[in-house]
Amino acid sequence: MNRIISRFELLQSQRQKGLVIYIGAGDPNLGATLQLALGLEKAGADVVELGVPFSDPLADGVVNQLAAQRGLASGTTPPKLLEMVAELRRQSQVPLVLYIYFNLLHRVGLDVFIQEAAAAGVDGLLVLDLPPEESANYETLMEKAGLCPIYLIAPTTPDERIALIAPRARGFIYYVSREGVTGMQSSVSTTIPGMISRIQRYSSLPIAIGFGVSNPEQARQVAELGDAVVVGSAVVNRIAQHGSSPGLVDEVCHFVQTLSKAIKS
């Protein structure tokens, strides 16, 4: 069974909430990404999202844009990233999602990329700029490869589009709790409960809530509203601060431990 699906089934059986952690692949280099992914699993991450560096990350705020730039500068490409994933799989079975823009799949070829991702050990793809209306072939190829297509739903998504998007997702649904791009926020959105109820009308999949969760207290509040919490920019910001330090992994994973403790205690 797909690792994402298995992990959420385990969490549900234990009555626990999930923690999804996003980092930029290749930031500061792929060796560090490998060590971070291993450390994040030990720190309590249930799913690790790897942002594939791209020159025009239109869904991302400045923190993740800079991470993408650092990833590109370190020479990280999709083939090199998949080599790192294969190495990670020799040491860990942590569920992995690639957070990616469609141009990178299109350049390689959709079928080829999906097959190579599955062979390396990827469990799901979150393609930021692929509308569900144009994703039929993508979904067929993903199902054939045993990968989960992760879809986004936003606060501005009307019911008719939730009804279109939610049934097509696998693994979990990513609810973007704020309008706009990724980034740290000072408070939790007040619109989350109503949107979660609306999404649940159309799907029984776990709902992971992200965009803006910045500290353990916010993570605890969000975990009470959904099935999992996604934290990205707050982690990436720490990587930016400590990227050249030998204590990088320890610094980042200590922060993730505080998040995990907040949502699982």
Catalytic residues: 49, 60
The token duo for 116 is 């190579």
In contact, 125 and 135? CB cutoff 8 Å = no
Half-sphere exposure of 244 (CA within 13 A, CB side): 1
- Separation between Cα atoms, residue 222 and residue 232, nearest integer Å: 14
Residue linked to tokens 């079928």: 111
Indicate the residue type of 86. A
What is the strand order of the sheet 151-153 is part of? Answer: 148-149, 124-127, 96-100, 47-51, 18-24, 228-231, 207-210, 173-176, 151-153
